[in-house]
Amino acid sequence: MNGMTNNQRPALWERMSFGFGDLAGNALFGITGAYLIYYYTNVYGISASSVALLMLLARVVDSVVDPVIGYLIDHRILFGGCVRPYLKWFSLPLGFLTFCCFLPLPLGSGGRLAWAYATYLVMGVLFSLVIVPYGLLPNVMTRNREDRLSLSTFRMMGATLATFLVGSSILPMVHLFGGGNEKLGYPLAMTIAGAIGGGLALIPFFTCRERYELEANDSPVRVLLGSLFHNRAWVIITIVLSLFYINLTAFYGLSIYYATEVLHRPQYFGGLLISMMGASKVLGVTCSPWLARHVGQKLTIVLPYILSAMGLALFAYGPNSAAYLVAVFGLICFFQGMTLPVFYAMVADSIDYGTAVTGVTASGMAYSVNSFAGKVAWAIGGSLSAAFLGWGGYVPHAATQTHTARAFITFGFLGVPACVALLSVLIILLYPSEAEMTRILQPETPVEPQSI
Q: CA 27, CA 193: separation in Å to the nearest integer?
A: 8
Residue type, 125: V
Do the beta carbons of residue 225 and residue 68 sit within 8 Å?
A: no
Buried (b) or exposed (e) across 124-159, using 16+ Cβ within 10 A? bbbbbbbbbbbbbbbbbbbbbbbbbbbbbbbbbbbb
CA distance 394 to 391: 8
Region class of 397: left (phi > 0), else alpha (psi between -120 and 50), else beta = left
Question: Count of alpha carbons within 13 Å of 389, Cβ hemisphere only?
Answer: 28
**Sign, CA torsion 34/36/40/42:** positive
Could you tell me if 289 and 436 are in contact, meaning their C-beta atoms sit under 8 angstroms apart?
Answer: no
Q: What structural domains does the chain harbor?
A: 12-204+218-441 (1.20.1250.20)
Give SS3 for 422: helix
What is residue 367's predicted lDDT score, i.e. its pLDDT?
76
Q: Is 420 helix (H, G, I), strand (E, B) or coil?
A: helix
How far is it between the farthest Cα atoms of the chain? 66
Closest among 227, 21, 216 to 133, alpha carbons compared: 21
Burial class (CB in 10 A: 0-12, 13-18, 19+), 434: middle
Which residues are CB-contacts of 156 (< 8 A; sequence separation ≥ 6)? 19, 22, 281, 285, 288, 337, 340, 341, 344
The answer to whether the beta carbons of residues 34 and 162 sit under 8 Å apart is: no
- Digit-by-digit pLDDT tens for the chain (452 residues) are 334 444 578 888 999 999 999 999 889 988 887 789 889 989 999 988 898 888 777 766 766 788 888 888 877 888 887 899 999 999 999 999 999 999 999 999 999 999 999 999 899 889 989 988 998 898 889 888 788 889 988 988 898 888 788 878 898 999 999 998 999 999 999 999 999 999 999 999 999 999 888 776 677 777 777 888 889 999 999 999 999 989 888 887 888 899 999 999 988 898 888 888 888 988 998 899 899 988 988 999 999 999 999 999 999 999 999 999 999 999 999 999 999 889 988 988 888 888 888 887 777 778 778 777 887 887 788 788 888 988 998 888 788 889 999 999 999 999 999 999 999 999 999 998 888 887 887 766 444 444 44
pLDDT at residue 443 in the model: 66
Q: Which of 415, 425, 412, 404 is nearest to 313 (CA)?
A: 415
Q: Within 230-266, where are the H helices?
A: 232-257
Strand partners, 198: none
Burial of residue 276 (CB within 10 Å: 0-12, 13-18, 19+) is buried
217 phi and psi angles, rounded to 5 deg: -140, 120
Measured between alpha carbons, how far is 124 from 329 in angstroms, rounded to an integer? 29
pLDDT score recorded for residue 444: 62
pTM above 0.95, yes or no: no
Residue 358 CA to residue 152 CA, distance in Å, equals 25
The Cβ of residue 209 has, within 10 Å, a number of other Cβ atoms equal to 17
Please give the helix or strand (H or E) that residue 46 lies within, else none: none
CA distance 342 to 321: 33
pLDDT at 445: 45
